[in-house]
Amino acid sequence: MRLEGKVGLITGAASGIGAATARFFADEGMAGVIVADINDELGEKTVAEINAGGGKAIYIHLDVSDPDQWQAAVKESVSKFGGLDVTMNNAGMSVPASRKKVEDTTLEIWNAMHAVNATGVFLGMKYSIPEMRKRGGGSIINTSSIFGIVGSGSGTAYHSAKGAVRTLTKAAAIQYAPEKIRVNSIHPGFADTGMTQELHAMPGERERRIGLIPLGRMGVPEDMAWGAVYLASDESSFVTGLELVIDGGTIIQ
C-alpha cells in the first residue's frame, strides 16, 4: 500500500508503460487512478481490469497537445477523487517517418513529435501543479528516454523532444521544490511496447537491440512502472530532478 490515499493521473495509459503503471498504482493502494489516452477502447479496457481487481479507476479521453482537454481532464479528476497528488506525463509517439537524420526530417514531423512528446509534458505540469499546491505537494513523473540523453544515427525530432523533457523536468524541479512538488524523469531503454512493436518486427532489429543491452534482455513495461511507483511514493520524498534510467545498462557503455 505504498500509494495509499493518493490520486494519480497517467497519460498514455491505455497500453504499454502507462497501462502497467496504472495497474501498479492501483495495486499499491492509490485511492484514484485516472487513465488518460486517445485510444478509448484500450483505455476503457485498462480501467475495467483495474476496477475488477478492486482498484478505483476512471478513463478520460485526452489529447495531451490540447490545453483545453488538459484543463478538462484535471478538473474531472479532482471532481471525481477530490484532488491530485501524482501526474505521470507518459504519452509519447514515435513513427517510422520520424526516424530520419536532420536534413531528411520534415517540419511536419518535427512539430508533431514535439507537440506530443514535449508540449504534452509542459501542459501536463502546467495544469497539474495548481491542484498539487492545494494538497501541499505532489509528484510529477515525466517519461523521457535514453534518447533524451544520448544520440543515435536517426530520430532527430524524437531526440530533440525527449531531450527537452529531460531539461524541462530539471527546471520545474527547481521552481517547485519550495512547494514540495517533486519533478523527476524516467528514461526507458529498449523495451517491447506498442510504440516499438513495428520496429521490433523488422528482421533482426529486436535481436540487434538486445545485443546492445548488458543485462541481455529486452525491457518490458513493468520495468518502467516500478520506477514510477517509487517516484510517486513517499519513499522518494527527498528525490527531485532525478533522471531515472531504466535501460538494462545500455548507455553506461
Enumerate the domain spans of the chain.
Answer: 7-248
Burial 6-45 (b: 16+ CB within 10 A, else e): bbbbbbbbbbbbbbbbbbbbbbbebbbbbbbbbeeebbbb
- Could you report the per-residue pLDDT of 205-247, keeping only the tens digit for each? 778 888 889 999 888 999 999 999 999 999 999 999 999 999 9
7-248 CATH, one of 3.40.50.720, 3.10.20.30, 3.40.50.1820, 3.30.70.240: 3.40.50.720
Residue with cell 484514484: 32
127, 158, 176, 230: the active-site residue = 158
pLDDT-derived band at 204, boundaries 50, 70, 90 = confident
Catalytic residue check, 176: no
Residues 6 or more apart from 152 whose CB is under 8 A from it? Answer: 159
Q: When comparing pLDDT for 208 and 72, which is higher?
A: 72
pLDDT-derived band at 54, boundaries 50, 70, 90 = very high
For residue 183, pLDDT beyond 70: yes
For residue 37, pLDDT beyond 80: yes
C-alpha cell at 225: 512502472
Low-confidence winner among 37-46, 63-72, 187-196, 207-216 (lowest mean pLDDT): 187-196
Residue with cell 519550495: 178
- Could you report the per-residue pLDDT of 122-158, keeping only the tens digit for each? 999 999 999 999 999 999 999 999 999 999 888 999 9
Give me the percent of the chain exceeding a pLDDT of 70: 98
pLDDT of amino acid 197:
67
